[in-house]
Structures are given as structure tokens and as C-alpha cells.
A and B are shown apart, each in its own frame.
Chain A
Amino acid sequence: MKAGLLATICGLAAAWIAFCLLVWGFGESPREIAGQLFEGTWGTAYGTGQVLFKATPLLLTGVAIDLALRAGLFNIGAEGQLAVASLAAAMVGSHLPEGTSALYALPLVLLVAAFAGGLWALVPAVLRARFGAHEVISTIMMNRIADAAIGLVLGLGFALKGTVRTQGLAAGAHVPRLERFLPSLRGSGVSVALVAGVVLALFVGWSYRRTRFGREVSLVGMNPIACGAERIPVRWRLAQALILSGAICGLVSSATVLGYKGYFEQGLGAGAGFGGLAVALLGRGNGVGLVLAALLFGTLQQGGLAINAYVPMELMDVIQGVVITSVALADARVRAVVMRTAKGAFG
């Protein structure tokens, strides 16, 4: 745990250096831009709300990808899973009879979304469990197929004429925004989905240690051969982890379709799948860690918009990659030192 914390700090330091270098290379003052970044994010109530809004999909995909990662699987297909699920949620949500109570509408729509996300992850899961196909390749392919499939479905008449968006949701299928409870967040898109996401992250983090399923999934990730010898159904656990990961990705629609737009349009939520990878690789099986990582990358995303007038916001994607690389690098270094020390003590 301490080593992990050290690695994270190294990663953040590297990210800061990269930020300064890139901003300076672009011909702006890093200190001024950092000031702008803070002003546009945590500086105001609205900015804070927007950070939380951006962090919600990242948190949900982060939890989802982390779950697969515990089992040793890289779910790079979050992008496609959440897109397909969002479309499914919007299609069902918009066809509910007007006046359906939120008590039925919300669970139904979320269930559909989770089901669709899980279904999209089913293909890589089966390919992996049955045929040993590497999930990195198959999930990427499923992302591409999702893009085309969504275009196809929207083109078949599920989109409003001349647009790439679906009809609006029935009133009962909306997730309420937080501004209804905290008036100072007025205007920002953050919704109750954030609260649900935090609860889910803490629950999933807890279940790795405290439930049989979670324990088995993380043990399979550590040593599948030993787990097989202990009669844990390894392939089945791998498939379950990936499908469950897809289902959680489907819940991203609660923040985007149900909590913000009120309909699905092509590209809604895009990018959260890859941002979630960064969150998962930083949070690593720890609920609180996942929440903090989502806040960090949410801040970077919102901050990117705040500084876009001075420095291209694409800078933040680079920073995201730098954070992952340097955390992984620091982690490997720390591990090497620990190994060497252990060898010195016992060898």
C-alpha cells in the first residue's frame, strides 16, 4: 500500500512536469495556465459541479475496468459497451408510456443499460474463456463494431429525422440533477448518478476483500493456475468479471443519457472508456482510490476546457497518458527495489 502511494505521488509529479513543459513549449506561462485551470474547476461552485459531472462517467467506467483488471483482464471495450448501453437505455426510456413512475422507469432503464453493456462484453468474454482470444484485441474490435452498429440502428429510424439523436426520454426515466438539492451547483450537469457511482465504487472495493465472488475474482487475477488447482472455476470467473464489467459500463448512461442529455446521440459519453482505464490503473482495486482518481481526471477534463483558449485542451489527454506511464514505471521500480531488498535479506 505504501509502495503504491509512493508510485502515485511519483506519477503526479511527472504529470506536473509534463504539464509545465508542454505549456511552456506552447509559449504560455505554466503558472498562469495552472491558475486558469484552478479557477475554471475548483475555483467556483459551477466549476466544481462540472468537475463532478465529468468525473461521474470516469468513475463508473473506472470501477468497471478495475473489476476486470482484478481478474487480470484489460477491458478496453468500455467505450463500445457504454455506447451500446446508452443507446439501448435511450430507446427503451423514450418508448415508456408518458407518466410512468420513476419508481419503475429508472430501475427498468438502468437494467436494460446494464444488460446491453453486459451483452456487448459477452462476445469478448466467450472468446476469452472458450477460445483463449486476447481480450485487448477483441474488445477493441467490439468498440469499432459498436460504432457501426449504432450508426446502423440510428439510421433504421430510431433517430429523429435528419439528426443522429434519439427521441427524448419519458419524464420518469430522468435521473435528477444535484442542483435540485444544492442550488449553488446551478447550471452544471452533475446528477445523482455521481452519488450512486461513489457508493458503487466503495461497494466494489469492499467486495474484493469481503465477498466470496470478489475474493475469487482477484485471486484468479493473481494466479489462475493455483486457483484452478483449488477448484475455482477460472474461465467462468474470467467471463463473469468481463461481463459484469460491461454491465457497469452500461450504467454510465445514468450520468449521460438519463442524468444530463435526456436522449442519446452518436458520440455521447465517448472518451469515458479510455479515461476509465486511467482511473482504474491509478485506483487499483481500492474504492476510495478510484473515487480520487476519477476526481483527478475529471479535473483535468474540465480544466482542459477552462484553458482551451490559451493552450489546446488535448494537452490533458497527453497528461493522462503520462500519469499512467509514470505510475506504472514508478511501481515497477519500487517493486524491483523491494525484490532486491528481499533477496539481500534472505538470499
Chain B
Amino acid sequence: MLVLALVLIPTIANDFFLVQIFAQAAILGLIALSLMLLGGWGGIVSLSQMSVAGLAGYTLAILGQSSMSQSLGSNSWLAAAAALAVALIVGFGIGLLVGRTRGIYTIMITLAIGVAVFYLANQNYAIFNGFTGYSGIAAPHVLGVDLRAPLPFYVLCVSLALMGWAGVAALGRSSFGKALIATRDCERRAAAIGFHVGRHRLVAHTIAGLLAGLGGILLVWFNGRISPGTIGVGPMIDILIIAVIGGMSRPSGAFLGAFVFVLLRTFAIDLVDPERFNTLIGLVFLVIVLTSRDGLLGLLGKLSKPERRKMSPRLKTLEREETS
């Protein structure tokens, strides 16, 4: 149903909607998806997923083509592949760094990593081109089609988002995914039944790195540029907000959150002045967090089956006895 809707959308939506709303939501959703995997299932709240995306984006800009002289000008696809590899390695590296930490300490360390990456990019001119960053980065052409043209870009972003979604959903049903959730529920038991909890977390960080990297590449093609502002503390927190607004229990939450976030950011200008966007999103965040334990997913769940409570098997047995 969703896929059908996504196929039909281009027939009714204009280019602005296709790119600014749907493609952008798909991109931010992919980055938030990486946080959903780590935080929702692994219990690892990492603030540096935007930094991973950013480092992938920078890799693309540096190795590929841009209007900056620092760019090496290699093939866009090669640059994209290298960017993914960098994201994978950075994800792994962050996993190594925060592996032994838990809870608030993980949040603090990943915040520190993100801030460090921001300042590195801001102050390093040789590689990151400092404050200016890179601009004029074009998406590649496939069979003469410019991937950054509205419809192709919509198709590219939405298909990759769907693949990411399906991939993470399958992961959640796999032995790895279930064990990851188990390490969140009860780390001690997970170890006591034979799982190497540290290795599991490390693999989760690496996969999350890949997802964030994918988002980072698309983000650079979307903006045509990348600069330290792309990966500052604001955008880092935005990813957290998106993931929490949407709900962290399932992969769909990341995209739901991204969609609402992008809608608000795009149209808040009409309602309140742009400066007030953070106040608005803060309010929305507050309302959702206070009314639902699982973001919009939780709210939707309540709406679709308001009466049905999870019934304990014991109650069910009693009920069966009564009716029989």
C-alpha cells in the first residue's frame, strides 16, 4: 500500500514536494534510521550519527567533483563508494570508542565526538576547506538522466529509504537483531546465554554507520554542498528529535518522524517566523514525548486500537473458561 502510494505521489505532487518534502524526509529518515537501530533496539543513544553522515558527505565532496579546487574530481560513484566505506569505518570506530560506556556516558561521548568533528571541519582548510566547506557538488548522471532532477532524485531517495527500511526490518527479525534487542532488555542475561554483547554493539554501530553514510551522500547531492553547518550540534540534535518524534521501536518511526519534521520546518515559515522553528519543533517534541512513550508510532498505535490492551495469557485462560 505504502509503496503504491509512493509510486502514485509523483503524479499528483509538484517538484517542490517531491524533492523538498519527500526526498528530504527520506534522507533525514535514513540518518534517523541509523539512530533508531542503535537507540531503539540497542539501547545505545548516539548523537554522532549526523557526524558519520557528514564525514561520508565530506568524503564524497573531497574525492568527487565540486566547484572547489580541493576536490580530487574522481568519478561520482567511486567517490560515493568510498564515502560509504568511510561511514562504515567511522561507525566501527565510534563503536570501539563508546563500546564500554552506557546511558548518559554514551550520549556525552558521542556528543563530544560530534562537536570534535564539527570543529575539525571548521578549522581545517587543507582537507575540509574550513568554514566554507564544499559547494557545487553535482549528483551523477545515469544514462543521460540527471539524478538530481526532481523525479529521478525522488525515486533515488525513496527507493534507498525503502531498502533501508526493509533491511532494518529484516534485521529486527534476524538472530542478530533479536539479540541486539536482548542486550538492551537485559545485558546480563544476554551474556549469560552466550552472546558477546560488546561485539554485538560494535556490529550495530557499523551497520548504523552504513545507513547514516547513505543518508550523508544523498544529503550532499540534495544540498549540492556541505559545510560545518551541516554537521553542527543543531543538526545532530535534529536527528535525535526526528527519531524520538517518530518512535524508536520500529524502523518506520524514523521516516514518520522525518516526514513530520520536514513538513514543520518547511511550512513553519508560513505560521511563525523562521527563527521560531526551534520553539515550534520543541513544543511538538514535548507534546509527543509527554503523550506517547513511542513517539508518533505509539500515538498511531493508540488510535488504531484504543480498547485492545495486551492481555496476559492468564487472563486469556480465564476468559476462555468463562465463555466455554
The yes or no verdict on A and B being binding partners is no
